[in-house]
Amino acid sequence: MATVLSSDFPLHVETDGDDRRPALLLINPLGTTLDFWDPMIDTFTEHYWVLRFDLRGHGSSTGVVAPYGIRDIASDAIAVLDAFEVERAHVVGSSMGSLVAATMAGLYPSRIDRLVLAAVGIVLGPDYWWRSTIERVCAGGVEAIVDHLDAILFSDAWREAVPDRLVIARQMFVQTPEDSFLAGANAILDADLTPIAPAIRAATLVIVGEDDPMLRHSPATELLDVIPDSEALNVGGARHRVLLEQPTVLAAIISEFLSDPDGR
C-alpha cells in the first residue's frame, strides 16, 4: 500500500504481483473502491504487475473533494504511474474508469500500451438521467438511489446467482461519501470523448454488456468508429457492471488481448 499525492489530493494505491512483469493499471467505476477488481485480480497477476487506486474521496483516498473533471482523474492516474516509475502501462477501465482510461490514452499516448474500455460510449448515459440522479442524491444521500441502481448495474441472473457479491457491491456504493459521488457524477455529466477518442493510438478492446441500460443513449459501438485500432466484445445478458458478471472469463480474455501483439 502507498499514498500518492496528485494535485495535493492523497490517493490510496495498492500493487499486486511481480513488479518485473508488464504494468497493468486498473481504474474503478464511480461508487466503488479498488476492491472492485478483486474477482479478477488473481488472473491478472499471473501475467502483470497490477496497480490500482481509490478515486478521489473513495475508499482510503480520503479528503475534501472539490469539483473536478475527467481530465483531473486522468492526471491522478498518470501521477500513480510516475510514483512507481512506470513509463508505459496497459490500462483497463470500467464505466467512469473507462472515461478516464480513454482520456489518458488520448492525452498521454506515450504512456499507454494497450487499452480496455468496459461499459462506456462516447458519453456515459443520458444527461437527464445524471441530472435526476444528482437531484436525488442531493435530497436523500447516496442511499436514496441504491435500490434503483441494482437493476441498471446488474442482470437479474447475476443478482440471483451471487447474492453475496451483490451485498459487497452495495456496501461499496453506500459507503461512498455524498460529496465524492456528486463530484464524480458531475464529471461524468460533463464528459464527452468526441474530441479525445480519435487521438487514441493504443490498440483498444471495448467490452459492452448486451443489456446495459446506460449505453442505450450512446452505444459503445460508437467508439469503434472513432478509435482507429479497436474491436468490441459483447457479453450476452450483462448490464452495466459487465466485468463483474463473468470476471474470471473476462479477465482471461483481457489478459490475452493485452499480451497478443497481433490482437485477439
Each of the 264 residues of the chain gets a pLDDT tens digit; together they read 788 777 778 999 999 999 999 999 999 999 999 999 999 999 999 999 999 999 999 999 998 899 999 999 999 999 999 999 999 999 999 999 999 999 999 999 999 999 999 999 999 999 999 999 999 999 999 999 999 999 999 999 999 999 999 999 999 999 999 999 999 999 999 999 999 999 999 999 999 999 999 998 888 888 999 999 999 999 999 999 999 999 999 999 999 999 986 544
pLDDT in tens, 30-85: 999 999 999 999 999 999 999 999 999 999 999 889 999 999 999 999 999 999 99
Residue 186, Cβ neighbours under 10 Å: how many?
16
Q: What is the pLDDT of residue 77?
A: 97
Distance, CA of 190 to CA of 162 (rounded, Å)? 34
All three cell numbers of 263, joined, read 490482437
Tell me yes or no: is domain 2-259 CATH 3.40.50.1820.
Answer: yes
In the structure grid, which three cell numbers stand for residue 79, read together?
501521477
Contacts of 101 (CB under 8 A, 6+ apart): 27, 77, 91, 92, 93, 115, 116, 117
Q: Per-domain residue ranges for the chain?
A: 2-259
Positive or negative, the Cα torsion across 191, 25, 94, 217? positive
Q: What is the pLDDT of residue 7?
A: 74
pLDDT of residue 264: 43
pLDDT confidence of residue 263: 47
Q: Which amino acid is at 254?
A: I
For position 29, what pLDDT does the model report? 98
The confidence score (pLDDT) of residue 262 equals 59
Q: What is the pLDDT of residue 261?
A: 64
